[in-house]
Amino acid sequence: MNLENQIKKAEILIEALPYIQKLYGKTVVIKYGGNAMINDDLKNSVMEDITLLKYIGMNPVLVHGGGPDINKALQAFDIKSQFINGLRVTDSQTMEVAQMVLVGKTNKEIVSLLNNKGGKAIGLCGIDGRLIECEQYKTELDGEMKDIGFVGNITKINSKVLELISKDEYIPVVAPIGVGPDGQSYNINADTVAGEIAAALQAEKLMLLTDVEGVKASKDSDSIIPALTIAEVHELINNKVIDGGMIPKVLGCVDALEKGVGRTHILDGRIPHCILLEIFTNKGIGTMIMKEKKLYHEKEVLY
């Protein structure tokens, strides 16, 4: 390796310095899902990113989904999957399988991967310490409220256990299972869980790893909007530029911001080391949603 390449590597590290200073000791909540949970190379990339965040002084909290693993398990048990408004209809059999897979398989695999990278991960779900309290969620279909089974609507996050773990040397890994007043388990959308946990912890960042590049400038455009305010998000929804499955993601970001989260991000989890590229480079990747376009430092690029 010649000296010029070595100097370029040093410049990359120096570019990261203001962000390390800004985020030292701060909480970063990451929702892990999509293709990044399926592809082995991407799995390793995400775990390396999260471990690095911990070692340089941040407090990462990982919330994961597990739809593909649940689908496989349901097929093995010959249980059919049904979705209404993007939510899995969850009867008692489906709930048992979802809890078994998310808590017993997916969660522990992620914990193991982080530990193998040198992190100290601890797996949790919403039942532990009543971390995620919820009630039954009902969705509207054809003008009527539809019962979709054991799907949870979060009523409270008891965040003390996450604060104790994340501010120590550990990385919490949270499965999106909540608990009702009677002890009944509920399946909850992982994006929703991540947003509510970020709000409860007053996180500096909420990062949603997805299978899209970010929010597009228009339906016919390939260009991604690097930064949006809350007002601009609502305008894009009204103009139907943001539609479909992107709406709940951006509204989840908006809700987290309104509850005190510093910045929120929609990232393409198919890009290796997407977390580091967003946090530690001046331009970043994906779409950042914020209350107002305020720079961390003068070299940051938001346009």
> In this model, does residue 163 exceed pLDDT 90?
yes
Q: 66 a known binding residue? A: yes
What is the reported pLDDT for 142? 79
Residue 302's pLDDT is: 83
Q: Give how many domains the chain has, as a whole number.
A: 1
Q: Does residue 87 form part of some domain? A: yes
In a domain, 302, yes or no: no
Alpha carbons 198 and 179: distance in angstroms, whole number: 19
Does the residue 298 lie in any domain? no
Range of the domain at 28: 18-290
* 284 marked among binding-site residues: no
Rounded CA-CA distance 254/261 in Å is 9
Comparison of pLDDT for 200 and 35, the residue scoring more = 200
Q: Could you report the per-residue pLDDT of 166-190, keeping only the tens digit for each?
A: 999 999 999 999 999 999 999 999 9
- Domain containing residue 223: CATH number: 3.40.1160.10
187 is in an annotated binding site: yes
Residue 156: inside a domain, yes or no? Answer: yes
Strands (E), 98-182: 121-125, 132-141, 144-157, 171-175, 177-179
| Digit-coded pLDDT (tens) for 85-129 | 778 899 999 999 999 999 999 999 999 999 999 999 999 999 999
Q: Mean pLDDT, the chain, as a whole number?
A: 93
88 belongs to an annotated ligand binding site: yes
Q: Does 101 reside within a domain? A: yes
Residue type (1 letter), 141: L
Phi, psi of 110 (to 5 degrees): -65, -45
